[in-house]
Amino acid sequence: MPEPIALSRITSHLEDFDGAFLQCTDCQAVHRIMQADRALLYTKDGAEVQVDDMRRFLGAHRDHRFQVLRRSSDAETLSHARWDPMCRVVWEVSDGETDYVVSFGRTEVESPREYTIVPGRMRVVKETIEIDGDVLARVIDEALFPFVAPESKVAGVVQRCRDLVAGCAADELDPIDELREDPNVQLACLPARVAGELRRDLEQTFADSRTRDGFDAIADDLQVQIPIVRLARRYRIDRFV
């Protein structure tokens, strides 16, 4: 285990530790340092309200020693939408030597976050990479208008895009959002390589449409603006014994 860090070093350089986790090495309790949790609220009569999770944690472990854990991978499981105050998050963190799985969230909106931590890793047990074919078909129809693309040809392009994306590695994707109905499905735009191949396919398939600008618009939009790729990963927690 790395050397514990003195509390004074952490509290005097809090900005360096924003987002990191403090683990008390005496009683294993964990707290994530977050700027947002340090804002104090004041009631109408000016009284300070103790909403500062950090102060509460440091008060409870005043004479103990701490180690700093940082997020060590992009593995993540969410219980609710990320913006939801009740969202419980599961991440991998590390002290530089040992990996841990930390889970944190609130049981009530106004209660402090609660944490659990176990030595272990999050293993991907299922990964799917798909596209939203309906959205792709609509993007093609709109971009080629007033040319009317035959439905069977659009379906052919959608299928070829589906095949291209199925051959992508997850690390080619750069997720920008999560699916509203399932926060564990990430949304991403097409990788540049796939957008380029799709553009060539569109040009061949709809050679009679004379809408070169339309092909460019489709490839550009799908590469930077319209996230048609859905990346879903399910994890298992492997605890170290």
Positions that interact with Zn ion (CB under 5 A): 24, 26-27, 61, 64
Quote the least distance from Cβ 62 to Zn ion, whole Å: 9
Tokens 């219980």 appear where? Answer: 79
Q: Which of 57, 36, 34, 39 is nearest to 49 (CA)?
A: 39
Torsional class of 200: left (φ above 0), alpha (ψ -120 to 50), beta (otherwise) = alpha
Quote the least distance from Cβ 174 to Zn ion, whole Å: 39
Quote the least distance from Cβ 24 to Zn ion, whole Å: 3
In this structure, are residues 128 and 232 in contact, taking their beta carbons and an 8 Å threshold? yes
In this structure, are residues 144 and 214 in contact, taking their beta carbons and an 8 Å threshold? yes
Q: Return the number of the residue (29 or 217) whose C-beta is nearest Zn ion.
A: 29
Q: Return the number of the residue (29 or 237) whose C-beta is nearest Zn ion.
A: 29
Quote the least distance from Cβ 37 to Zn ion, whole Å: 18
Q: Return the number of the residue (31 or 233) whose C-beta is nearest Zn ion.
A: 31
Q: Which of 79, 136, 164, 137 is nearest to 113 (CA)?
A: 79
Quote the least distance from Cβ 63 to Zn ion, whole Å: 8
Q: Return the number of the residue (65 or 160) whose C-beta is nearest Zn ion.
A: 65
Q: Are strands 89-94 and 21-24 parallel, antiparallel or unpaired?
A: unpaired
Q: Return the number of the residue (59 or 196) whose C-beta is nearest Zn ion.
A: 59
Rounded to the nearest 5°, which phi and psi values hold at 116?
-130, 145
Quote the least distance from Cβ 22 to Zn ion, whole Å: 10
Q: Return the number of the residue (61 or 230) whose C-beta is nearest Zn ion.
A: 61
Closest CB to Zn ion: residue number: 24
Distances in Å between the alpha carbon of 196 and those of 191, 200, 203, 204? 9, 6, 11, 13
How many helices (DSSP H) and strands (DSSP E) are in the chain? 6, 11
